[in-house]
Amino acid sequence: MIIAPSILSADFGHLAQEVNAVCEAGADWIHVDVMDGRFVPNITIGPLVVEAVSRTTDCFIDTHLMIVEPEKFVDAFTDAGSDLITVHAEACVHLHRNIGQIKDAGPKAGVSLNPATPVASIVEVLDMVDLVLIMSVNPGFGGQAFIPSVVGKIRELDRLREENGLDFDIQVDGGINADTAKMVVDAGADALVAGSYVFRGNYAEQIAKLKEAFGPSR
Ligand code: DX5
Ligand code: ZN
């Protein structure tokens, strides 16, 4: 069970303090949302900021690339300290090659699906990835409402994982709060990204409420 607060909702004027506070409050990973204004209608963080985050914390750095041609930036985000690099299936013409490139560079490799993209589009690479990120909002902004139709995709992925003896993590990102966390964990999710839910309240309390979704046995 992994809770990964997204720094997209942090106060960027005090980023180092925010990262340290959320890690001390129980975050397992720091989720970094990289946007290029092309794959998604917003621009955010580049390798320079990932490098600064990496310098301030020992927390695992989970880098979500919402950019076109992500292969051009795998080395830069690796050098900046990313422990996991996730690319979007929709942004990769050569997805198999791109996942191999991330693993060769050193970080763990993830693949992400937008709400409208079916699980079938990544079946051929499921044995290569460390993580599948199911987007539960259309990527681009924090604070959007959870899209319930993605729950079926999480179940489908969990079933495929079980049937094929695979061990990738299933991560869910967008509109996660205590209620939606329960829905996605019950469907098979292992890792939750939460931006506004964690950063709008007391970090330790919000993270603890998300962890309750996993119940005592997980
Ligand atoms: C959306 C990003 C998310 C976002 C989540 O494009 O990938 O990580 O920050 O924010 P909330 O939890 O506020 O929906
Ligand atoms: Zn994200």
- Per-residue pLDDT averaged across 161-175, rounded? 98
Whole-model pTM?
0.98
Of 151, 54, 148, 152, the residue nearest 107 (C-alpha): 54
Pocket test for ligand 1, best of 196, 199, 206 (most atoms within 8 A of CB): 196
Mutate to test the pocket of ligand 1, among 31, 84, 137, 176 (most ligand atoms within 8 A of CB): 137
Residues with CB under 5 A from ligand 2 (ion): 33, 64, 173
Check if 127 is active-site.
no
* Angle made by CA atoms 49, 52, 53, in degrees to the nearest 5: 90
CA angle (90, 94, 100) in 5-degree steps = 110
Dist. CA 97–CA 202, nearest whole Å: 42
- pLDDT, tens digit, 9 for 90 and up, residues 14-41: 999 999 999 999 999 999 999 999 999 9
Confidence of residue 216 (pLDDT cuts 50, 70, 90): confident
Cβ–Cβ < 8 Å for 209, 24:
no
Contacts of 163 (CB under 8 A, 6+ apart): none
